[in-house]
Amino acid sequence: MGLNIILTQTGRRFNRDWIFNGIDYTFLEGNSYAVLGPNGSGKSTLLQLLNGSLTPSTGNVKFSFNGSDLHAEDVYQHISMAAPYLELIEDFTLTEVIDFHFKFKPYNNGMNRAGIIDLLGMKQSKHKLVRYFSSGMKQRLKLALAFCSDTAMLMLDEPTSNLDVQGIDWYLQLVMQYAGNRLIIVGSNQLQEYSFCTNQLHITDYKRPANN
């Protein structure tokens, strides 16, 4: 299965301020892309355009899945995402969060609930409410849910937020094990988060106002 995204003279603004403008870029299935820029530069805004949750202020974003056009409102069915601003249901236990997530996404590579708990190293916490997890545990859980979902696109925004050195190594192991043959888009300004990406889009290259 393959998801492709084509941006044509794409821009987004809030009020009169352009976040970025004039992006001509193609994201192809099976490839990895880093969306780079300093904090506040618009990386997360661009990722929201790429996952269909925002529309462009100008230009076009075209999605296709397995060679057929895909409406923006249906893109969510084919992606999994991890980001610091995506909330977990804090009143669920670890087991309940996993079961709830995989009502909407299929498991990847024969993975199952027990496999994810093992991957997380959280057997002792499987009946613990997520509200009592540390920020690092929550981030690991978000990453595990995203990587272990069988989706055409994997989107990661600041994936090593709240992770220590061991957590970063764990993240890179996830990349090696579960990221193959998918469209991967990483929003980042930290090299360890995107060092495996073979393509880079620098958002500061598109910091220009519209011609009008």
211 found inside a domain: no
pLDDT band at 1 (very low <50, low <70, confident <90, very high): low
- What's the confidence (pLDDT) of residue 16? 87
- What's the confidence (pLDDT) of residue 207? 84
Rounded CA-CA distance 200/18 in Å is 21
Residue 109 Rama label (left phi>0; alpha psi -120 to 50; beta): left
How many domains does the chain divide into?
A: 1
150 found inside a domain: yes
> Tell me: the pLDDT tens digits for 185-210?
999 999 999 999 999 999 999 987 65
126 found inside a domain: yes
pLDDT band at 105 (very low <50, low <70, confident <90, very high): very high
10 found inside a domain: yes
Per the CB < 8 A criterion, the answer to whether 86 and 158 are in contact is no
212 found inside a domain: no
- What's the confidence (pLDDT) of residue 203? 95
Per the CB < 8 A criterion, the answer to whether 198 and 34 are in contact is no
pLDDT over 70 at 8, yes or no: yes
Tokens of 152: 């055409």
Mean pLDDT computed over 57-61: 96
Which domain, by its residues, includes 104?
3-206
Q: For the domain that residue 118 is a member of, what is the CATH number?
A: 3.40.50.300
Per the CB < 8 A criterion, the answer to whether 80 and 154 are in contact is yes
- What's the confidence (pLDDT) of residue 110? 85
